[in-house]
Amino acid sequence: MFEIIIALVAGIFLGVGITFLVKGNKKRESEEITRNLENNLRQLLPIMQKDLNENIMTLAKEKLESETKQSKVDLENKRSEITRIVKDLESYVKTSEKERIDSMSTLKTAIEESRKITKELSVNTEGLKKVLSNNQLRGQFGEQVADDLLKMAGFVQNVDYYFNKEQKGSETRPDFTVLLPDKTKINVDSKFPYNNLQRMTETDDKEMKKKYKQEFERDVKEKIKQVTTRDYINPDDNTVDFVILFIPNEMIFSYIYDKMPEIWQDALVKKVVFAGPFSFTAILRMVKQSYENFRVQKNIQNIVSHVKSFEQEFEKFSDSFYKIGDRIDSLDKQYKEVSSTRFNQLTRKVDKVKLEGSLDEEEEQKLLDV
């Protein structure tokens, strides 16, 4: 419709143009034509405007519907994408929250365990300080350490070692008596010099450090004296010719060996052997190995005895075996003689008998007729 209107308007203007081009027309005709054109235009313009509006509305509606459909599709896609993002975000938030809760729970548990351990360490430290500050408790602590090391090395009380047992011909009682495989005894005394060494490590005053070190040296010498004056080396009680002075703290033992070599060297001259937890364990393992060697040696003696008995029996067996061999050889010779010479002689005799006893056909027929 819109195209038709445009064509009419174009035709009218074309006619007007042609009219102006015709120069022979009169003025009256020109005015009449002009009025006609104006009337026609007044009639056509509303129609053209109406059609134009309708076409514009139609085009706008179609455009709007197209854009609305596209917008709807885009909106649906965006809604789906937003929904997916929201779900992923919810999943991530839930996972993160669970991990956070688990982490907080683990952290809380770790903090609680750390608090308990710290409390226990504090209690143990305070208890250890009390033990180490008391001479009697220190002695009991040293004895307990030595007893634990003996049991860890495989020693059995009242079988492989004794605790605080009185010695023969003496009223002294060593803390421990370790037995060798032949029942020879190694006496062990536990000593724990500590107070002056502790004071020396806690002070920053050089003069006081020197004083406490000298007092600690005096303490160690006193421990050596106690050991050497108690008949722990006692031939009448079948002991070895040395005694072990056990120091149940490796730090103190190492300090004596590092800082006071003249003291432990003097102790060796007096046949006193210092031993910390590590070296005492090594000594116990060596003693335990001697048990194994002793057992093997005893077994070897039994094995040698069994071998000698086997040798005697083997000689008897050899004699009997060779005699049987001789008899077998004799029987073999007899068998060969019987199976060859004697058998051949018997065969020839039988052949001769067959020859002497053979009959011709006439004699055999006569015997059959009879």
The DSSP annotation for 136-205 comes to HHHHHHHHHHHHHHHHHTT--BTTTEEESPPPTT-----SEEEEPTTS-EEEEEE----HHHHHHHH---
More confident residue, 252 or 356: 252
**What pLDDT is stored for residue 63 in this prediction?**
66
Least trusted range by pLDDT, from 29-33, 166-170, 210-214:
29-33
Highest average pLDDT, of 64-68, 97-101, 197-201, 350-354, comes from 197-201
Strand partners, 190: 246
Q: Is the pTM of this model over 0.85?
A: no
Mean pLDDT taken over the chain: 75
By DSSP bridging, strand 176-179 and strand 272-275 are: unpaired
pLDDT digits (tens, 9 = 90+) for 263-291: 989 999 999 999 999 999 999 998 888 88
Percent of the chain whose predicted confidence (pLDDT) is above 90: 18
pLDDT digits (tens, 9 = 90+) for 106-146: 767 777 776 676 565 454 445 555 656 677 788 888 899 99
Sequence-ordered list of residues with C-beta below 8 angstroms from that of 138, at least 6 positions apart, any chain: 131, 132, 192, 194
Instruction: Check whether 37 has a pLDDT greater than 70.
Output: no
**What pLDDT is stored for residue 148 in this prediction?**
93
